[in-house]
Structure 1
Amino acid sequence: MYLASRTRLAALLAALAVGATGVTTWAHGRGGAPQPTALGAGIRPSVTEGTVVQVVAHPDDDLFFMNPDLSRSISTGVEVATVYLTSGESDGRNEAHSPHLEDPARPADRAAYAEARQNGIRAAYAEMATGDRTGAWRRTAVPTAGGGSAEVDVLVARPHVSLVWMQLREARSISGDNPDSLRGLWDGRAPALGSQLTSGTPVAAPFSYTREQAVEAIAGVFARYRPTTIRTQDPTPGRSPGGALLDHQDHVYGARFVQAAAERYAKSADADAGAGAAGAGAGSRGTGSAGAAGADTARPHFSVQNYVSYPNSSLPPTLGPRAAEEKLGYLKTYAWTDHRDWCGSPAGCGDRKTATRPTGAGWNQAIRYSRGDGTSWLTEGVSGRLWAVAVLDGRMAYWSRGGPATPWQGPRFLPGAGMDAGATAARLPDGRVAVFGTRTTLGTTPGEYGRALVYAVQAEPDGPFGPWRSLGTPDTKDLPDTSAISAPAVAVDPAGRLTVYVRDSARTLRARAQATPDGAFGGWRSLGGAGLQGDPVTATDSAGRRHVYAATARSVLAWTRPSPDATDASDAPLRGPFPTGLPATTGPLSASPRGDGVGLYFRLPGTGAVGTTLVTADGPEPSFSPVTGAGGEGGYGAVGVAGHRLTGRAGAGTAGLSGGPGGAPSWSESQMLYTGAPAAVVQPDGTAVAAALGLDAGLHVTTAPPAGAEPLGSLPPSSPWHGAVPPSTVAQAARAGSGWQR
C-alpha cells in the first residue's frame, strides 16, 4: 500500500514540475483538477531547483528525521547528496534487539554490520528515486580534503542521487562518556578519531582525522557539491532536568562539525572569489567581505536547515497518514523487513536492528525543524516598501522592493558570520526596520561554544542597517553544550520600544525590553511557563493589547498585556501564562491581528491540517473561539498569515496559498519545495504578498488580490510563485558541474 502512496507523490510532483514558460499549473483544493493560469510578461513560475546536501551522523538518521523532505527533493530531480559521518557500526551485530533472538556466542563484526546498513540505505534511496530497491550503484573511493578517503556511491539510473560515506567511528553509545567519538574529538579529549571501514568498501586503507581535519573534510564535500541547501541535525537540543543531552551525542556533535565546516566553506569560497575579483581588475564581479553586498559569488548561496531527532519521541505527530505511511515504507526497505536476499551480500541487505521497530519511537510520523520555522521575516518599512530577511552562508541577507511596480533587489548582506537559521523583522513606527536573530560562536575550545541574541536597526527609514548589537542569552548558567534558546519573537509598542521574547534552555519564556525608543535594553525577565516547544509568537490587536503564545507538547500557553500604555520594561509586563484549553499542536505557531482580537494558527497532530482560533483579551483572561479548519490537505511546518490568506506546505510539500477561513477555504499548490517557513504581509491596498526561501537559496514570492477582489470561483493568486530576483549568469554557472565525477 505504501508503494502506491509513493507512486502518487512522485506523479504529483512530476506533474507540478512541467510548468512551461508562460504557463503554470495549480492543484485546486482536495483532489481538484489542475488548471492553467496565464502569467504576466517576464514571470517564470518557480519550480524546485538547487542542490541539496544532507549531513547526518548515522545511516538512517536521514530516513527517520529528514523525510519526507528528502524523498520529495529526490522526486523533483534536483541534485541530492547525503553524507554519513560515521559508519554506524554499533555493536557489530546485525540482528533484532530482542533477548530471544540475540546470540551472544556469535562474534561481533562491526565492518559487516556497517556494510549491511549501507546496503539498506542504498536500497531505500534507489526506491525513493526509481521505485526499485535493487537499483545499481557506482561505488568509488575519493580522497578528502582532510587527508583521508570517502566512499562515494552514485545511483546509475539517477546520477543526481549520491551517497558519501565518511566512515568515522561512532560513539557506540547514546550518551556514554566515550572520548573516542565525535564528541571527544570536538571537545579535544581525543587528538584524532579513527575510521571504521565497512566490509566491501572501495576505500583501501584506514585513516584518522584530527578535529581540524574533520572540519576540512566536510567543508571539502561542500566545495565539491556546492549546495544551495544544507540539511543537518540539531547542534543544541538542550538537556533534560537531570542533565542528560536530549539527543544522541553523535547527532549533536556531528551537527557542530557541520556548523564549523559550513562556516569554513563559506569563508574559503568568499576568499577565493575575492582574490579572483582582485586579480581580474576593475569590472570583475566577485564576493570578498560582507562589504561586497549583493555581488555574485563563485558558488551559489546556501541556507541551512536543522532537524529535530530523538525529541520527536515525546512530541505530537506532525505527518498525516499518507505521508507517515510513505515514510515507513522506506524505513522498512532499509530495515530489510522481508529478509529476502536480493543484494547477495554476506553482511545482509539491511539493518535488522531497525526491523524490530521500523517506526522508531514514533519517528515515522514526525518531521520537525529545530530552527528557522518562524514566519515573521517579511515586513513593510516605509509605505509600500517590503523587506525580507533570511540567513544565507551564515550571514544575514536581506532583499527589498520599493513598490508593486519595482523589482526586488538583493540579496545584500549585513556584516558578520555565525548567524543561525531563522530571522525576525519588525517595523518601527517611523518606518525603520529592525532585524533580529541568533548567532553561534564556535570558538576554539569547548567552553567558547555558545549562542547569543543579536539585532540591527536601520539608521533611518529606508536607509542602511546599523551595527549588530548583542542582547546575550537568558541562559547565564547554561553549559557550553546546550545553548538551546529559541529564535526571538519581537513586539513594538506605539512609541517604538522593542521587546524580545525567547524560549530559554529550561523551556520557559523570557523577555528583554527597551525602556525608551532606541534606548538600552533592560535585563532578562522570567515570564514563566514550562515545557515550551518551538519559538514563541506575538501580535498586537486593534486595541493595542499585546498577545504572546508558546506551544507545549499538550496545548498552548498565552500571555497578554491588556493596557497598550504599559511597557514590558515596567513593573507590570505581560500577565500569564494562561492555559488556553486548545488542543495539542505540532509545534510551530503563527499569530496575526484579526478583527478585535488575534488569530492564532497551527497544525493539528496526525493530519497536518491547519487550525485557527480567534483570541480576544478584553477580560481578565483571554478567551478563545472554537478551533476551525483552514481547508486543504495536511502539510507540516509553520503557516504564514496575511489577512485572509495563508501560506504553508500544501499536500505535496510544495509552497501553497490558501484563501483562509471564510467561504470555502482551499489551497493552491505551487511547483516549489522550500526550506524553513513562509512569510506573508498585507500591503496598504489589501494585496497579500507571500515569500519563501526555495531550495535554490533564492527568494520566491507570490501575490494575491484583496479579499473579495478575486473573480467568482477563482483561487490561484494573481501571480504564481516566482523568483523575486532572476539568477545571474554567474550564479547559474556556479551551479553547473557540481559533485564528484559521475
Structure 2
Amino acid sequence: MNSITRRTAIKSAVLATGLGAWSPVAAATANGAPPPADGLAVAADIRFLTSVSPGYPAVVDTGRGLAAFALGPERHLHYRRQHARGGAWSAFELVRDVALDCRPVAVTVPNGAIVVFARSGGEVVHCWQNVYGGEWSDWHGLGAVAGTNEPAVTVGPTGRMATYVRDAQGSVMYREQQSESGAWSGWLDLGAAGRPRAVISGSGGAVVFARNGGGLVHRWQVGVGGEWSAGWTGLGDSLGGDPSAVVTPTGAIAVVVRGEDGTLRYLSQGTGGGAWGSFTSVGDQAIEGRPAVLVGPNGGLVVVARDAGRRVRFAEQNGHGGVWSTWTDLGGSTVTDPSAVLSPAGEISVFGVTQNGAMTWTRRTGAGWQPWQSWAGDGVVTA
C-alpha cells in the first residue's frame, strides 16, 4: 500500500447526484459503429458530456465559474477559480501537497462537484471538491498502472465515472464505477493502442478512440456498463497526432485529429450510432499536438489548436453539420496544447501556458474575443 492509499479516507456518498439514469439501447449496429442513440440529445446533456477538455491547464466550467488546474512547485496540484461567473479570479491555490507524475485532468459531475484525476506513485489517483471553492478531499488511489500520460475520463449524465490510461506495455487500461457514486471495478485491459480519448455515446456506453499503427481505431460499450466490442476497429487515415472526440447535438460522434500532413482532419458519424463518413481536412493550416474540440453555442463544432509557432488557432462550423470557417489567429500563444470549454451562456473560453510558465486565458463574448489575460509568477510546470 503506497502513501496515497494510506492517507486516503474514503468518504461515503461522495459525488451523489439527483439525475435519473440514461435509458440504454442494447443492440449494436452491424457496421462496426456504437449502438444507436435513444433520439436527439438535448443541449444540456451535450454540454455536460463534452465538458472534459484535452489540453493544459485542465479546465472545467462548473456553472458558477471557471476553474483551471495545473502543476505548480514540486509538481503539486494548484488551481485558479473565478469567485463568480465572469468575475475576478482567485490566486493560484494549492489543492494537495502530493507530487503528481503527469498533468491533471478535471471533470464535473451533474451535482456540480469537481473531480481531478492524475497519476502519483505509480497509480491513477483522484480527488474531489463537493462544494465549489470548498475543501478538497485527499487523493484516492485507483490502483497501479505504470505509464507516463495523463488518464482520459468520461462522466455519464448521472455522474458515473470511468478512467482510461495507456500503460507501460502500450495497452489501454480501463476502470469504471459500478454505479453512480459507487465502488470502482478492477482494471480491464482493452488491448494495445495509443493515448486514449473517450466519450459517452447516446446509448450511455463509452466509446474510446486512439491511434494505432498510424490510423484511428475505436472500441465501444453496448449501453451503460455493458460489454465491449471485440477488439479495436479501424476507422482509417494516416495520423500525425492523438485524437479528440465530441458528441454532436444529434448524438453522433465526431473526431478531430492532426493528420500526417499536419492539417486538422475531421471524421463524423452521419447520425447517432450510424455509419462513419470519410476523413476530410479543415483548411490548410498546419497544427501541432492534440486539438481541443467542443460543441459551440450554435450546435456546430469548435476546434482550438496551436500551430508550429505556438500561436493559438480557432475554427468553427456555422451550425450543426455546417461549413467550416477559415482558421483564426486568436493573438495568444501557448507552449502546451490549449484547452477550451463552453459556458451555459454560450461563451467559449480558451486556456494555455505562456513560455515563462504563466497560465493564460481568453474568451469570446457577444463583443468578440477578449484580450488575453496572463498571471505572471504562477510557476506552472509544463513538463
Do they superpose with TM above 0.5? yes
**What is the distance in 2 between the residues matched to 1:618 and 1:466?**
37
Deviations 1:35-78 (A, max 9, x none): xxxxxxxxxxxxxxxxxxxxxxxxxxxxxxxxxxxxxxxxxxxx
Whether 1:409 and 2:90 are equivalent positions in the alignment is: yes
Whether 1:614 and 2:277 are equivalent positions in the alignment is: no
Q: Is the 8 A contact 1:631 1:667 kept in 2?
A: yes
Deviations 1:482-525 (A, max 9, x none): x3353211112233221111112221221111223333322111
Flag the 1:374–1:405 CA change in 2: closer, same or farther, 3 A. Answer: closer
Q: After the TM superposition, which residues 484-495 of structure 1 pair with which residues of structure 2 at under 5 Å, given as runs? A: 484-495=147-158
Corresponding position of 1:522: 185
**What is the distance in 1 between the residues matched to 2:269 and 2:205?**
11
Whether 1:583 and 2:237 are equivalent positions in the alignment is: yes
Q: 1:604 aligns with which of 245, 253, 259?
A: 259
Q: After the TM superposition, which residues 102-117 of structure 1 pair with which residues of structure 2 at under 5 Å, given as runs? A: none
Identify the structure with the greater strand proportion. Answer: 2
Deviation at 1:460, TM superposition (A): 3.1
User: Which protein shows a greater Rg?
Assistant: 1
Deviation at 1:415, TM superposition (A): 1.8
Corresponding position of 1:464: 135
Unpaired runs of at least 5, structure 1: 1-371, 442-450, 475-482, 711-716, 735-742
Whether 1:663 and 2:323 are equivalent positions in the alignment is: yes
Whether 1:430 and 2:108 are equivalent positions in the alignment is: no
Deviations 1:244-301 (A, max 9, x none): xxxxxxxxxxxxxxxxxxxxxxxxxxxxxxxxxxxxxxxxxxxxxxxxxxxxxxxxxx
Q: Is the 8 A contact 1:660 1:666 kept in 2?
A: no
Q: After the TM superposition, which residues 139-178 of structure 1 pair with which residues of structure 2 at under 5 Å, given as runs? A: none
Corresponding position of 1:721: 372
Corresponding position of 1:654: 311
Flag the 1:689–1:409 CA change in 2: closer, same or farther, 3 A. Answer: same
Q: After the TM superposition, which residues 480-559 of structure 1 pair with which residues of structure 2 at under 5 Å, given as runs? A: 483-528=146-191, 530=192, 532-533=193-194, 535-542=195-202, 544-559=204-219
Aligned length: 317
Corresponding position of 1:211: none
Deviation at 1:434, TM superposition (A): 0.3
Flag the 1:575–1:460 CA change in 2: closer, same or farther, 3 A. Answer: farther
Corresponding position of 1:392: 72
Report SS of the residue matched to 2:96. Answer: coil
**What is the distance in 2 between the residues matched to 1:413 and 1:611?**
38
Deviation at 1:574, TM superposition (A): 3.2
Q: Is the 8 A contact 2:173 2:189 kept in 1?
A: yes
**What is the distance in 2 between the residues matched to 1:423 and 1:404?**
23
Corresponding position of 1:561: 221
**What is the distance in 2 between the residues matched to 1:436 and 1:456?**
7
Flag the 1:669–1:511 CA change in 2: closer, same or farther, 3 A. Answer: same
Corresponding position of 1:34: none
**What is the distance in 2 between the residues matched to 1:402 and 1:631?**
39
**What is the distance in 1 between the residues matched to 2:79 and 2:174?**
26
Corresponding position of 1:379: 60
Deviations 1:214-262 (A, max 9, x none): xxxxxxxxxxxxxxxxxxxxxxxxxxxxxxxxxxxxxxxxxxxxxxxxx
The aligned amino acid for 1:590 is S
The aligned amino acid for 2:256 is Y
The aligned amino acid for 1:390 is A
**What is the distance in 2 between the residues matched to 1:626 and 1:721?**
36
**What is the distance in 2 between the residues matched to 1:549 and 1:698?**
31
Flag the 1:429–1:616 CA change in 2: closer, same or farther, 3 A. Answer: farther
**What is the distance in 2 between the residues matched to 1:517 and 1:664?**
38
Identify the structure with the greater helix proportion. Answer: 1
The aligned amino acid for 1:469 is H
Deviations 1:577-604 (A, max 9, x none): 3423321212322111213212211001
**What is the distance in 1 between the residues matched to 2:54 and 2:66?**
20
Corresponding position of 1:636: 288
Corresponding position of 1:418: 99
Whether 1:574 and 2:228 are equivalent positions in the alignment is: yes
The aligned amino acid for 1:514 is Q
Q: Is the 8 A contact 1:458 1:465 kept in 2?
A: yes
Flag the 1:463–1:577 CA change in 2: closer, same or farther, 3 A. Answer: farther
Flag the 1:693–1:527 CA change in 2: closer, same or farther, 3 A. Answer: same
**What is the distance in 2 between the residues matched to 1:684 and 1:456?**
25
User: RMSD value over aligned CA atoms?
Assistant: 2.7
**What is the distance in 1 between the residues matched to 2:283 and 2:355?**
26
Deviations 1:514-561 (A, max 9, x none): 223333322111222x2x22x211112455443211111321221222
Identity of aligned residues (%): 20
**What is the distance in 1 between the residues matched to 2:265 and 2:236?**
10
Corresponding position of 1:682: 342
Deviation at 1:469, TM superposition (A): 0.9
Q: Is the 8 A contact 1:432 1:462 kept in 2?
A: no
Report SS of the residue matched to 2:147. Answer: coil
Flag the 1:720–1:577 CA change in 2: closer, same or farther, 3 A. Answer: farther
The aligned amino acid for 2:276 is F
Flag the 1:525–1:485 CA change in 2: closer, same or farther, 3 A. Answer: farther
**What is the distance in 1 between the residues matched to 2:272 and 2:333?**
41
Q: Is the 8 A contact 1:395 1:418 kept in 2?
A: yes
Deviation at 1:673, TM superposition (A): 3.5
Q: TM-score, normalised by structure 2?
A: 0.74
Deviation at 1:423, TM superposition (A): 1.4
Whether 1:704 and 2:364 are equivalent positions in the alignment is: yes
Report SS of the residue matched to 1:496. Answer: coil
Deviation at 1:576, TM superposition (A): 4.2
Deviation at 1:402, TM superposition (A): 4.2
Q: Is the 8 A contact 1:540 1:546 kept in 2?
A: yes
Flag the 1:576–1:612 CA change in 2: closer, same or farther, 3 A. Answer: farther
**What is the distance in 2 between the residues matched to 1:543 and 1:488?**
23
Q: TM-score, normalised by structure 1?
A: 0.40
**What is the distance in 1 between the residues matched to 2:308 and 2:335?**
16
**What is the distance in 2 between the residues matched to 1:486 and 1:412?**
24
Corresponding position of 1:61: none
Deviation at 1:632, TM superposition (A): 4.8
The aligned amino acid for 1:432 is A
Q: Is the 8 A contact 2:57 2:351 kept in 1?
A: no
Flag the 1:690–1:591 CA change in 2: closer, same or farther, 3 A. Answer: same
Q: Is the 8 A contact 1:549 1:556 kept in 2?
A: yes
**What is the distance in 2 between the residues matched to 1:422 and 1:374?**
9
